[in-house]
């Protein structure tokens, strides 16, 4: 079917104008090309799998393991009637246990163990205000050892997912293939391992030495390399209900984007992605990674310490996540973060900014309760100050975005024999980014911060990094190389140039190699566990960092309204 000529001409321009709104979190976009218009409207296929599941009574679907559910004690469970949007965006009424919070004075204070995380290891860079960690960024190669020829494509937006310690390989990497003039967004998956040069003293007994070939591909410090050939991640296309005005161009772009993989509270490997929405234009969808990559099923079910199949799937098919009431949803949704306080309850944190936070409980089939955010909570994030805006590095369009999935953290060390996970305080943490844009609204810099919130309802925000965080060999845009390296004397002496225009963090995961009892522990860790940060570099690169939790969560600021202690804040 021929398209009106005017549409063919206008689309590339519309894409140019619009790309930064669509890819706020991933500053890289396919280049508009002459092929684009031909693809619109003609690649839309009907759904292959049902994309919405009927509402299920959660108490019937707990996994068959002898799970003793540890639910925080200060909650009261009471059935309520909820208005839930069904497949046709009409409303059905269901009755569900809703967690009601009982205000408690103790929640005004922050856990004692978090107080140890307020001190800063060093002064921030005096120009850029960053705190630099001593951890390097390592390279990632998608060329498997077995391959005959090297991988020539370029990749970005890695999401690194740690397999259980008994798996044959250490990680699963999903990366987006940098589009080369085509509209289809391709994501590939491989199993991968980390290697270190033989000369580097092995920090952990199970770390693997690099071969010559590895060092050739990854550089002198080693890194993460595919073991299996990258295979395309296919999920069914989803239709957009309605993309209007400036969003019209998104209606038919094939493929998904912003994949994130993490463990749910009962150890399910969940893949969340952005794709066309059955309620509006773009939405978030969840599917169990085992349904996409069946090889994982056997791994999940073969824990040496627990017999039986892996965790029951909450998302066996692609399921759209929703907001309640439906009128509160936006046409283009993105960056939602899931967290699981127990093995049977999960929540979505839709947004977290300097003025707004919205949380709801997932009640099955992607449906949620209305907003349960504590109305008494004061915002914890801050926008640039007048002084910062008066300088040349910030403007009033800076915005906070959730970036990575969240991890649960027991606030003591695994190596500490008096640390009892049953009674220690527990929190969630995630990485968020302050996106800074130029006057055209195009991203110039993503600043990396850690946020920490309570694992007990109402999940109050507890702390945030005082300063944005840089890794050892990373620089930040909009300052000169000298300014960026001001806190690294050797780099200054070598006249080290800037490295990486825009780096953004897509995922955090507890590193491979801990001896978990079963997969339900994969999303939970201790202060002395290591975390892998997946990092996208400009429009053509990917890297990762490995950081101990207690080092990532240092130099924190306590959120307003939480009880403060008298700490010396003079380094600000």
Ligand X SMILES: *[C@@H]1O[C@H](CO)[C@@H](O)[C@H](O)[C@H]1NC(C)=O
376 within 8 A of 492, measured Cβ to Cβ: no
- Smallest distance from the beta carbon of 333 to ligand X, in angstroms? 12
- Smallest distance from the beta carbon of 572 to ligand X, in angstroms? 27
136 binds ligand X, rule: CB under 6 A: yes
CA–CA gap between residue 310 and residue 224 (Å, rounded): 27
328 binds ligand X, rule: CB under 6 A: yes
220 binds ligand X, rule: CB under 6 A: yes
Output 399 or 419, the one with its CB closest to ligand X.
419
Output 327 or 570, the one with its CB closest to ligand X.
327
Query: What contacts 440, CB < 8 A, 6 or more positions away?
Result: 20
Output 132 or 185, the one with its CB closest to ligand X.
132
Q: How far is CA 147 from CA 150, 222, 230, 280, in A?
A: 7, 18, 10, 42
| One character per residue 524-553, x = contact with ligand X (rule: CB under 6 A) | -------------------x----------
219 binds ligand X, rule: CB under 6 A: yes
- Smallest distance from the beta carbon of 491 to ligand X, in angstroms? 8
CA–CA gap between residue 543 and residue 223 (Å, rounded): 9
- Smallest distance from the beta carbon of 246 to ligand X, in angstroms? 22
Output 113 or 456, the one with its CB closest to ligand X.
113
- Smallest distance from the beta carbon of 544 to ligand X, in angstroms? 8
147 conformational bin, left if phi > 0, alpha if psi -120 to 50, beta if neither: beta
CA angle 25, 29, 32 (to 5 degrees): 150
> Among residues 154, 342, 371, 564, which is the contact residue for ligand X, using CB under 6 A?
371
- Rounded to whole angstroms, the maximal C-alpha distance in the chain is 73
> Among residues 2, 59, 73, 392, which is the contact residue for ligand X, using CB under 6 A?
59
Q: How far is CA 211 from CA 132, 145, 169, 208, 434, in A?
A: 30, 10, 17, 9, 39
526 within 8 A of 410, measured Cβ to Cβ: yes
Place of tokens 């069946």: 294
| Count of residues near ligand X by CB under 6 A | 27
Stretch that binds ligand X, among 52-60, 310-318, 396-404, 440-448 (CB under 6 A): 52-60
Output 219 or 513, the one with its CB closest to ligand X.
219
Query: What contacts 72, CB < 8 A, 6 or more positions away?
Result: 341, 455, 456, 457
Output 214 or 258, the one with its CB closest to ligand X.
214
253 binds ligand X, rule: CB under 6 A: no
> Among residues 22, 137, 173, 437, which is the contact residue for ligand X, using CB under 6 A?
137
> Among residues 57, 91, 234, 438, which is the contact residue for ligand X, using CB under 6 A?
57
499 binds ligand X, rule: CB under 6 A: yes
Question: Tokens in use for 408?
Answer: 């649960």
Q: Which of residues 409-468 bind ligand X (CB under 6 A)?
A: 412-413, 416, 418-419, 424
Burial class (CB in 10 A: 0-12, 13-18, 19+), 429: buried
> Among residues 356, 480, 482, 572, which is the contact residue for ligand X, using CB under 6 A?
356
> Among residues 375, 386, 439, 490, which is the contact residue for ligand X, using CB under 6 A?
375
Output 169 or 371, the one with its CB closest to ligand X.
371
> Among residues 31, 358, 477, 564, which is the contact residue for ligand X, using CB under 6 A?
358
Question: Tokens in use for 572?
Answer: 């600000």
The strand pairing partners of 81, in sequence order, are 95
Torsion on CA atoms 261, 266, 267, 270, rounded to nearest 10: -20
Place of tokens 């009128």: 327
CA–CA gap between residue 203 and residue 560 (Å, rounded): 39
Output 93 or 206, the one with its CB closest to ligand X.
93
195 within 8 A of 218, measured Cβ to Cβ: yes
| One character per residue 172-211, x = contact with ligand X (rule: CB under 6 A) | ----------------------------------------
CA–CA gap between residue 340 and residue 329 (Å, rounded): 22
Stretch that binds ligand X, among 136-144, 187-195, 332-340, 507-515 (CB under 6 A): 136-144
Output 45 or 490, the one with its CB closest to ligand X.
490
Output 361 or 413, the one with its CB closest to ligand X.
413
Judged by DSSP in three states, 552 sits in helix
> Among residues 426, 436, 465, 473, which is the contact residue for ligand X, using CB under 6 A?
473
> Among residues 138, 315, 400, 504, which is the contact residue for ligand X, using CB under 6 A?
138
373 binds ligand X, rule: CB under 6 A: yes
Q: Which of residues 103-132 bind ligand X (CB under 6 A)?
A: none
Q: Which of 252, 407, 238 is nearest to 317 (CA)?
A: 238
Place of tokens 């296929």: 45
60 binds ligand X, rule: CB under 6 A: yes
Residue nearest to ligand X (CB): 219
Output 351 or 516, the one with its CB closest to ligand X.
351
- Smallest distance from the beta carbon of 59 to ligand X, in angstroms? 4
The stretches of 408-471 forming alpha helices (DSSP H) are none
The strand pairing partners of 409, in sequence order, are 427, 525
Give the DSSP per-residue string, 248-300. Answer: GGGTT--B-EEEEEEE-TT--EEEEEEEE-SSSSEEEEEEEHHHH-THHHHHH
Burial class (CB in 10 A: 0-12, 13-18, 19+), 64: exposed
Burial class (CB in 10 A: 0-12, 13-18, 19+), 12: middle
Output 238 or 277, the one with its CB closest to ligand X.
277
Stretch that binds ligand X, among 6-14, 123-131, 218-226, 245-253 (CB under 6 A): 218-226
- Smallest distance from the beta carbon of 11 to ligand X, in angstroms? 33
- Smallest distance from the beta carbon of 136 to ligand X, in angstroms? 5
- Smallest distance from the beta carbon of 215 to ligand X, in angstroms? 9
Torsion on CA atoms 153, 159, 164, 166, rounded to nearest 10: 10
322 binds ligand X, rule: CB under 6 A: no
CA–CA gap between residue 376 and residue 513 (Å, rounded): 41
Half-sphere exposure of 267 (CA within 13 A, CB side): 25
Binding residues vs ligand X (CB under 6 A) = 57, 59-60, 95, 136-139, 219-221, 328, 356, 358, 371, 373, 375, 412-413, 416, 418-419, 424, 473, 496, 499, 543
């Amino acid at each position: 079917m021929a398209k009106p000529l005017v549409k063919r001409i206008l689309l590339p321009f519309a894409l140019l104008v619009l790309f930064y709104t669509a890819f706020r979190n991933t500053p890289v976009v396919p280049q508009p090309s002459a092929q684009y218009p031909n693809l619109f409207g003609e690649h839309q296929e009907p759904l292959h799998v049902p994309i919405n599941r009927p509402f299920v009574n959660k108490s019937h679907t707990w996994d068959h393991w002898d799970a003793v559910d540890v639910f925080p004690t200060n909650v009261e469970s009471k059935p309520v009637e909820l208005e839930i949007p069904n497949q046709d965006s009409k409303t059905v009424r269901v009755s569900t246990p809703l967690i009601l919070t009982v205000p408690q004075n103790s929640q005004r204070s922050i856990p004692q163990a978090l107080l140890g995380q307020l001190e800063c290891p060093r002064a921030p860079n005096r120009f850029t205000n960053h705190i630099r960690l001593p951890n390097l960024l390592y390279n990632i190669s998608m060329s498997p050892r077995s391959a005959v020829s090297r991988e020539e494509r370029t990749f970005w937006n890695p999401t690194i997912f740690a397999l259980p310690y008994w798996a044959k390989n250490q990680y699963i990497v999903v990366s987006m293939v940098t589009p080369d003039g085509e509209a289809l967004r391709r994501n590939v998956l491989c199993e991968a391992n980390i290697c270190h040069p033989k000369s580097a003293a092995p920090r952990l007994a199970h770390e693997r030495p690099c071969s010559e070939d590895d060092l050739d591909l990854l550089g002198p410090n080693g890194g993460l390399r595919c073991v299996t050939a990258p295979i395309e991640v296919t999920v069914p296309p989803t239709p957009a209900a309605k993309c209007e005005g400036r969003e019209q161009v998104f209606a038919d772009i094939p493929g998904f984007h912003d994949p994130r993989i993490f463990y749910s509270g009962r150890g399910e490997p969940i893949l969340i992605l952005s794709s066309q929405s059955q309620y509006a234009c773009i939405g978030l969808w969840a599917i169990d990674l085992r349904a996409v990559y069946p090889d994982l099923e056997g791994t999940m079910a073969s824990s040496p310490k627990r017999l039986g199949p892996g965790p029951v799937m909450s998302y066996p098919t692609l399921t759209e996540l929703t907001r309640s009431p439906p009128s509160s949803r936006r046409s283009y949704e993105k960056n939602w973060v899931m967290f699981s306080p127990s093995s049977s309850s999960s929540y979505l944190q839709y947004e977290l900014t300097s003025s707004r936070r919205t949380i709801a409980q997932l009640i099955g089939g992607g449906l949620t309760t209305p907003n349960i955010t504590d109305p008494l909570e004061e915002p914890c994030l801050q926008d640039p100050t007048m002084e910062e805006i008066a300088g040349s590095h910030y403007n009033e369009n800076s915005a906070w975005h959730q970036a990575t999935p969240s991890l649960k953290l027991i606030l003591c060390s695994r190596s500490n024999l008096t640390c009892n996970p049953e009674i220690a305080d527990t929190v969630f943490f995630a990485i968020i980014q302050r996106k800074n844009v130029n006057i055209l609204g195009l991203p110039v810099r993503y600043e990396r911060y850690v946020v920490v919130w309570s694992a007990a309802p109402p999940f109050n925000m507890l702390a945030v990094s005082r300063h944005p965080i840089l890794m050892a060999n990373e620089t930040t845009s909009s300052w000169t190389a000298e300014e960026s390296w001001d806190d690294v004397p050797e780099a200054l002496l070598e006249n080290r140039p800037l490295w990486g225009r825009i780096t953004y963090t897509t995922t955090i995961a507890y590193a491979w190699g801990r001896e978990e009892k079963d997969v339900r522990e994969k999303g939970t860790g201790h202060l002395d566990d290591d975390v892998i940060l997946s990092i996208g570099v400009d429009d053509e690169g990917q890297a990762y960092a490995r950081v101990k939790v207690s080092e990532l969560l240092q130099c924190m600021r306590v959120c307003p309204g939480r009880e403060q202690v008298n700490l010396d804040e003079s380094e600000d």
